[in-house]
Amino acid sequence: MKKWLMLATALMTATLSLNALALDRTVIADKAENVTPLLNGASAPNVTLKTADGSPVSLQAMLMQKPTVMIFYRGGWCPYCSRQLAELKSIEQELVDEGYQVLAISPESPSKLQEQKLETEFLVQLLSDETLGAIRGFGIGFYVPDDTRKLYKDRMNVELTADTSERAVLPAPAIFILDEKGTVQFNYVNPDFRARPSAELVLAAAKLVKSKA
């Protein structure tokens, strides 16, 4: 476990510097490499999300219940995201035993989340951010090029969520660990959607955060 703790510590300092000094993190970036995620010590935004059945929920209220491992993923159509969530099932009980809840947020609609929930039986709580409030608030949203958007539509029949400008938006895959005050204690964001930390590293980071609480 010592090795995992060392790796988790390294991950804590490996969050993308990107444009870390940007004044407004809620601005959607022009590409994934330019997102400006919330850093450790920052507070989570007060936004409303929806459950898979379409019920609105306050993120702030949810965070006040217990420490949280929060995963932002692109959608159930993304094989890398589905694999990541499936791997997290192997450590869910240990996270619960450590006192955590696990939230998985995507820009997909509640109906899409419901399909995903029925198909995969994920035990983590799936939440819809189709209004992009959390994705903006955590500073991880970026615009998808039109040709890529068309490719997803033509090859995978995926309709990406768009903002008010009608431009498609995706989150850079991210993991945040927050305390009951909604303060970020750990963050990992990578513009390469294929790069995901292992479940073991996530668990080690969660334990390290808990030990320092």
Phi, psi for 16 (deg, rounded to 5)? -55, 130
Which pLDDT belongs to residue 114? 83
**Average pLDDT of the chain to the nearest whole number:** 88
Of 12, 9, 109, nearest to 53 (Cα)? 109
As a whole number of angstroms, the distance between CA 42 and CA 164 comes to: 27
As a whole number of angstroms, the distance between CA 193 and CA 16 comes to: 14
Which pLDDT belongs to residue 116? 74
Residue 76 contacts residue 115 (beta carbons within 8 Å): yes
Phi, psi for 32 (deg, rounded to 5)? -60, -35
Residue 173 contacts residue 73 (beta carbons within 8 Å): yes
As a whole number of angstroms, the distance between CA 207 and CA 205 comes to: 5
Residues 6+ apart with CB under 8 A from 91: 199, 200, 202, 203
* Residue-wise pLDDT tens digits, 70-124: 999 999 999 999 999 989 989 999 999 999 999 999 999 998 888 876 555 666 8
List the chain residues with pLDDT less than 50.
1-23
Which pLDDT belongs to residue 9? 44
Query: What is the reported pTM?
Result: 0.87
Phi, psi for 33 (deg, rounded to 5)? -65, -15
CA atoms within 13 A on the CB side of 96: 9
The neighbouring-strand residues paired with 55 are none
Which pLDDT belongs to residue 119? 57
Which pLDDT belongs to residue 117? 64
Residue 149 contacts residue 160 (beta carbons within 8 Å): yes
